[in-house]
A and B are shown apart, each in its own frame.
Chain A
Amino acid sequence: MSTLAPARGLPPRRAAGPLRRLLRGPWLLLIPAAVVVLALTGWPLIQLVIMSTQEFGRAQIFGAPPEFVGLGNYLDVLGDPAFWAVLGRSVLFAGANVLATMGLGIAIAVLLTRLARVMRTVVSIGLLLAWAMPPLSATVVWGWMFDTRAGVVNYLLSQLPGVDLIGHSWLFEPLSFFFVATVIITWQSVPFVAITVYAGLTQVPGEVLEAAQLDGTNGWQRFRLVTVPFVRPVLLVLLMLQIIWDIRVFTQIKALQTIGGVQEQTTTIGVYIYTVSTAGGNLGAGGAIAVILVLLMIVPAVLYIRSTLRQEES
């Protein structure tokens, strides 16, 4: 992303030689960031790819030399129905979470623009608190609320006439498990979306909205035809980030599985990679799954970059 921006908007300086221009120009400024990205993202990625072509088990973790197996791990993974089940589950789960998060986040952002100062501060602080909570603590607390025997959710619902949910497990049925997981994850990702979109909304010029109003548009039309096009880049970035984050979600699912539920029916791809590599001691296969996930994640990333490029051209 960052490598694309500097190519534009520079006055051509024909006097300087190309190398000098490069060194004095924006490229120099890019070096620190590039070094950090290469060292912290590039190197582990290379290691991951190498590992995914090796037979790499617990003995190799403790120093035994790994054996090269070519694409063996990939063939094993792709031929395993468990992998496809996990992948399908992850995509559906991420889809539901992205929709819920984006919908709620945008709605709350619009709400923030309408609130008076005091209430806006209160809501913003509430959002920040939810966002600042470590995911593990959040999951544990939500887990207590949905607890089978002593949870407040079962208690409150049982106060309704004709409802007796004491002893009901929210995590045993996979759909119910993912409902709880969606509540926790959405609750924590909405603040980021809401605050970012709100920041975008404050940049929508008031005069344009006013002009549209004078032309006789209603509120929904103004939002759809004026506001959304202005904040479109922001929404696209958020959408992409949410897809990536929700597909590879780990902490919340892993922590919920220790509270209840059947692990095999509730594992998503992030947890699956962990289960195969660390718990199962098969880092080769785990690496292969991770590489496949990276390749899948490149698809939304490429789509996003293409759309930003097109926008800048127009």
Chain B
Amino acid sequence: MKRKLALAALGVASAVALAGCASGAPAEDSTGDIRVWLVGADTPQDARDYLKTTFEEENPGSTLTIEEQQWTGLVDLLTTSLSGSDSPDVVEVGNTQAPAFTSAGAFLDLSDEYDALGGDDLLPGFVAAGSYDGKFYAAPYYSGSRVVFYNQAMYEAAGVSVPTTLDEYVSNAEKLKAATGVSGVYWPGKDWYNALPFIWENGGEVAVQNSDGSWDAQLSSDASVAGLEQVQAVMNTSTAAKDGDESNAWVPFREEQAATLSAPSWAYWSIVADEDQKPTALTDNLGYFALPGKDGGAAQVFAGGSNIAVSAKSAHPELAKKALAIMLSDDYQSILAANGLVPAKVSLGDKTAGATPELAAVIAEAAANAKLTPASPKWADVEAAQILQDLFVQIANGGDVASLAADADQKIEAILNG
């Protein structure tokens, strides 16, 4: 009964909503309300304010609303919302997820705007992620690599220094755990992005494409397994929930429950100040470095970041394109850069600033060696199926790395080749 009533109510509500849409249609494109979906807390408040004010000044009578979505379950959410009649106009999507939507026709073709948006100045890897079949659908938005933050006092107390190789990073974690009793490295089991450098640095891959176009998952190769075993060793030094995710990981870190945390560079602001903007134990005690590679230098880390696109079902495509143009303008991208993100344009790269010049250098060092997940339109389905999260939760719980990796390989191949 309850459910039938709810259904009936829903039916009436959607009928009303549909009627509303129909009567509003003739006004198309002159003025309207543009809904922009940003994901997570990555975009700083300054940039959000700039976008809204600039758009509304340039387009009198129109308004722009920013709605914040979660990274968790984003593929599912976009699949349902972009295909519906109430689609948002401009959407941010993870760079590794973009191919699932560009290949499905979910985004408006932006090929004609390519030069106006920045042309060859746009980050090439992200342009590739946002293009399909020779057409340009999703512009680069920003890039950002992980930086390793550490508690200087704890490193001193444990007698370890900033590691110069990946092996040293692992052994430091164990020493820190033994000396301090808190997490050597704070690492919730679902945080698989942080595990990728260990695979790559040991010479492994997630998946490689055969000459016939099919995919061969490589997590169970000897090189990858060596990396995964290092991951397990580091995870062993973590007191984070073995099946938790990485959201708000800076809270236990700034409360001195962990000596090390690998997180996006903008996490800096959440580490040196709490929700009430009060100083934390880490404010004057925070160090940072780029994750070291197997043979020194910076490790190949995951090139995280986002693309930005206009929904194919946008009711106001012209206005939406204008909003997107603002987000790729030099002014807007400079705000992102000033907040520690790597901007979408190569020419603005040197504007990336951490809170300090040293942090900026670390961010640049990490970004220089960044690498992507397998370039398949179906990779987003691997992410959505949570195969990697499940794998690392089980590794964190002490499971047998080789057999878990072999199992995950099978599932990844089933999806990529399915």
Residues of A near any B CB (own CB < 8 A): 36-37, 39-41, 57-59, 61-64, 147-149, 167, 169, 171-172, 257-265, 274-275, 278-281
Find out whether the CB atom of A264 lies under 8 angstroms from the CB atom of B390.
yes
17 new A-B contacts, CB < 8 A, other than A62-B104, A258-B73, are A36-B4, A58-B101, A59-B104, A62-B105, A148-B242, A149-B240, A172-B243, A257-B386, A258-B245, A260-B244, A262-B390, A262-B394, A264-B386, A264-B387, A279-B385, A280-B381, A281-B104
1/0 per residue, CB under 8 A from A, across B308-351: the answer is 00001000000000000000000000000000000000000000
Total contacting residues, chain B, CB less than 8 A: 39
Inter-chain CA distance A163–B101, complex, in Å, is 50
Find out whether the CB atom of B11 lies under 8 angstroms from the CB atom of A40.
yes
Cβ contacts under 8 Å, B386 to chain A: 257, 263-264
Find out whether the CB atom of A261 lies under 8 angstroms from the CB atom of B79.
no
Find out whether the CB atom of A58 lies under 8 angstroms from the CB atom of B389.
no
B103 on interface, CB distance cutoff 8 Å: yes
CB distance from A148 to the nearest CB of B (A): 4
Cβ contacts under 8 Å, A40 to chain B: 4, 7-8, 11
Find out whether the CB atom of A279 lies under 8 angstroms from the CB atom of B384.
yes
Find out whether the CB atom of B243 lies under 8 angstroms from the CB atom of A260.
yes
Find out whether the CB atom of A169 lies under 8 angstroms from the CB atom of B241.
yes
Inter-chain CA distance A258–B73, complex, in Å, is 9
Find out whether the CB atom of B390 lies under 8 angstroms from the CB atom of A263.
yes
Inter-chain CA distance A260–B252, complex, in Å, is 18
B397 on interface, CB distance cutoff 8 Å: yes
1/0 per residue, CB under 8 A from A, across B1-35: the answer is 00010011001000000000000000000000000
Find out whether the CB atom of A278 lies under 8 angstroms from the CB atom of B11.
no
Cβ contacts under 8 Å, B83 to chain A: 61-62
Known: A62-B83, A278-B79. A169 touches B243 (CB 8 A): yes
B100 on interface, CB distance cutoff 8 Å: yes
Inter-chain CA distance A278–B79, complex, in Å, is 7
CB distance from B404 to the nearest CB of A (A): 11
Find out whether the CB atom of B244 lies under 8 angstroms from the CB atom of A281.
no
CB distance from B375 to the nearest CB of A (A): 17
B408 — nearest CB in chain A belongs to which residue? A264
Find out whether the CB atom of A58 lies under 8 angstroms from the CB atom of B100.
yes
User: In the complex, which of the residues A36, A62, A63 has the most CB atoms of chain B within 10 Å of its own CB atom?
Assistant: A62
CB distance from B271 to the nearest CB of A (A): 18
Give 5 A-B contacts (CB < 8 Å), ordered by A residue.
A59-B104, A278-B79, A279-B76, A281-B104, A281-B381
Q: Which of B72, B106, B239, B384 contacts A280 (CB 8 A)?
A: B384
A192 — nearest CB in chain B belongs to which residue? B2
B393 on interface, CB distance cutoff 8 Å: yes
Cβ contacts under 8 Å, B100 to chain A: 58, 281
Inter-chain CA distance A58–B7, complex, in Å, is 26
B147 on interface, CB distance cutoff 8 Å: no
1/0 per residue, CB under 8 A from A, across B382-418: the answer is 0011110110011001000000000000000001000
Inter-chain CA distance A280–B79, complex, in Å, is 10
User: In the complex, which of the residues B103, B239, B243, B394 has the most CB atoms of chain A within 10 Å of its own CB atom?
Assistant: B243
A149 — nearest CB in chain B belongs to which residue? B241
Find out whether the CB atom of B80 lies under 8 angstroms from the CB atom of A262.
no
Inter-chain CA distance A63–B380, complex, in Å, is 20
B93 on interface, CB distance cutoff 8 Å: no
B247 — nearest CB in chain A belongs to which residue? A258
B359 on interface, CB distance cutoff 8 Å: no
Cβ contacts under 8 Å, A62 to chain B: 82-83, 104-106, 312
Find out whether the CB atom of A148 lies under 8 angstroms from the CB atom of B244.
yes
Inter-chain CA distance A207–B106, complex, in Å, is 69
Find out whether the CB atom of B240 lies under 8 angstroms from the CB atom of A36.
no
Cβ contacts under 8 Å, A275 to chain B: 384-385
A260 — nearest CB in chain B belongs to which residue? B243
Q: Which of A148, A258, A280 contacts B241 (CB 8 A)?
A: A148
A264 — nearest CB in chain B belongs to which residue? B390
Find out whether the CB atom of A279 lies under 8 angstroms from the CB atom of B243.
no
Cβ contacts under 8 Å, B394 to chain A: 262
Cβ contacts under 8 Å, B312 to chain A: 62
B10 — nearest CB in chain A belongs to which residue? A40
Cβ contacts under 8 Å, A172 to chain B: 242-243, 393, 397
B394 — nearest CB in chain A belongs to which residue? A262
B3 — nearest CB in chain A belongs to which residue? A245
CB distance from A83 to the nearest CB of B (A): 13
Cβ contacts under 8 Å, B106 to chain A: 58, 62
B281 on interface, CB distance cutoff 8 Å: no
Find out whether the CB atom of A39 lies under 8 angstroms from the CB atom of B384.
no
CB distance from A219 to the nearest CB of B (A): 33
Inter-chain CA distance A169–B76, complex, in Å, is 27
B75 on interface, CB distance cutoff 8 Å: yes
Known: A59-B104, A63-B105, A263-B389. A171 touches B8 (CB 8 A): no
Find out whether the CB atom of B239 lies under 8 angstroms from the CB atom of A262.
no
Q: Which of A149, A258, A262 contacts B252 (CB 8 A)?
A: A149
Inter-chain CA distance A147–B241, complex, in Å, is 9
Find out whether the CB atom of A58 lies under 8 angstroms from the CB atom of B79.
yes
Q: Which of A41, A64, A262, A280 contacts B393 (CB 8 A)?
A: A262
Find out whether the CB atom of B80 lies under 8 angstroms from the CB atom of A278.
yes
